[in-house]
Amino acid sequence: MGKETLKKQVIELFESADIYPNRDRPWDIQIHNPDFYSRVLNGGSLALGESYMDGWWDCNSLDQFFEQITRAKLEDKVKSNLQLLSRFIILKFANLQTKKNAFNIAKTHYNLGNTLFEIMLDSRLIYSCAYWKNADNLEDAQLHKLDLICKKLLLAPGMRLLDIGCGFGALAIHAAKNYGADVVGITVSKEQYDIATQRAQGLPVKIQLSDYRDLEGRFDRVVSVGMFEHVGPLNYREYMQKAHDCLTEDGLFLLHTIGSNTSNVETDAWINKYIFPNSVLPSVTQISEAFKTLFIMEDWHNFGADYDKTLMAWRSNFEQGWDMLKADYDERFYRMWCYYLSSCAGLFRAREIQLWQIVLSKHGVEGGYQSLR
């Protein structure tokens, strides 16, 4: 197939999403390399991201670009090839999120350097969706998210709280300081472990560097924020069973996770290679199947639109702080990180992916659970 034919096919695909190469609207892309068209048509989403990292194209508003192509369902218009089909079959039966591989995500993403996250995130270093209902800045929105979680858990002084995937320790510290909880938090990132341990000094908070499958003990409350995305479909049931085993009979479990509208066994190829290796977004069906017979669903709250705002705030912080980062990261990393934050914002804005907080109990809250928003 000739280059002009390939170019025509790609342009027609973009035009179906109201994107016109080399026009001047914010979501139109500017092509700098004529080989862009054949590269993207042959390589799909991976090639689209890599060609951006290589400087082959630009866009004034990447988030709007991705909102456009997501709403137009461009991915559905590109037929899968045999190579992709064979990968799907392998992933359906291969467990890529084993305990042996659990620490790989930390090496690839969470251990990129504390300065990066200190500049990009809020002061508490919360790397998950903020709650913007009554907030107009990232700092307040993240604080409101922490309070929302603690209130949904009906957290009270003296309760033992398990935080699965505690990150830099913000929720554990907040629960101990403001709700009197005795907290155990686990993470697979050494960088997160060091900071969380340092910040939690003097509080009833214990941070452990370990995988969730090694958890022991019983807790009045269990919470997991932004970690289930790394568990993998073949491990969902084991994960829920572990949370069940760690929870007291009258306890509550809150799961905070990004969710997909469809059930998948793999993630986007570019995200998998450069951002979150072997991570998969769960669907409603996959989650409910995983906790079936173990838990009763008390509440299911979707505020995915808030992740759009969160990601754009992170991108703004990242761009404003780039002068302090560029000595440690090159231009390709800068483009990669902007692409990551903007593409995810576009997906949330188009409502292709969601953010769920799910409250679960073993036997049902007596008299019924009062949902909080």
Residue 341 in domain: yes
Averaged pLDDT for residues 105-113: 59
Tell me what pLDDT residue 146 has. 98
- Check whether residue 72 and residue 128 sit in a common domain: no
- Check whether residue 156 and residue 72 sit in a common domain: no
- Of the residues 129, 150, 166, 344, which is catalytic? 344
Tell me what pLDDT residue 6 has. 85
Residue 334 in domain: yes
Statement: residue 8 has pLDDT above 70: yes
- Check whether residue 16 and residue 119 sit in a common domain: no
CB atoms within 10 A of CB 71: 15
What is the C-alpha separation between 185 and 208, in angstroms, rounded? 6
Q: Are 181 and 153 in contact (CB under 8 A)?
A: no
Q: 328: domain range?
A: 104-361
Confidence grade of residue 96 (pLDDT, cut at 50, 70, 90): low
Residue 41 in domain: yes
- Check whether residue 312 and residue 254 sit in a common domain: yes
- Check whether residue 70 and residue 127 sit in a common domain: no
Averaged pLDDT for residues 342-367: 97
- Check whether residue 285 and residue 328 sit in a common domain: yes
**186: CATH:** 3.40.50.150
Averaged pLDDT for residues 121-131: 98
Share of the chain above pLDDT 90, in %: 84
The mean pLDDT of the chain is 91
Averaged pLDDT for residues 5-15: 91
Asked about 338 being catalytic, the answer comes back as no
Residue 88 in domain: no
- Check whether residue 214 and residue 65 sit in a common domain: no
Residue 288 in domain: yes
Residue 53 in domain: yes
What is the C-alpha separation between 354 and 349, in angstroms, rounded? 9
pLDDT in tens, 273-285: 999 998 999 999 9
pLDDT in tens, 288-332: 999 999 999 999 999 999 999 999 999 999 999 999 999 999 999
Count of structural domains within the chain:
2
Range scoring the smallest mean pLDDT among 96-100, 132-136, 200-204, 287-291: 96-100
- Check whether residue 147 and residue 268 sit in a common domain: yes
Residue 89 in domain: no
- Check whether residue 193 and residue 51 sit in a common domain: no
pLDDT in tens, 203-255: 999 999 999 999 999 999 999 999 999 999 999 999 999 999 999 999 999 99
CA 249 to chain centre: 30
Confidence grade of residue 80 (pLDDT, cut at 50, 70, 90): very low
Which residue, of 29, 63, 78, is where some domain finishes? 78
Residue 91 in domain: no
Tell me what pLDDT residue 5 has. 85
Statement: residue 169 has pLDDT above 50: yes
Statement: residue 1 has pLDDT above 70: no
Statement: residue 115 has pLDDT above 50: yes
- Check whether residue 223 and residue 292 sit in a common domain: yes
- Check whether residue 231 and residue 350 sit in a common domain: yes
- Check whether residue 353 and residue 207 sit in a common domain: yes
Listed residue (13, 3, 55) closest to 31, CA to CA: 55
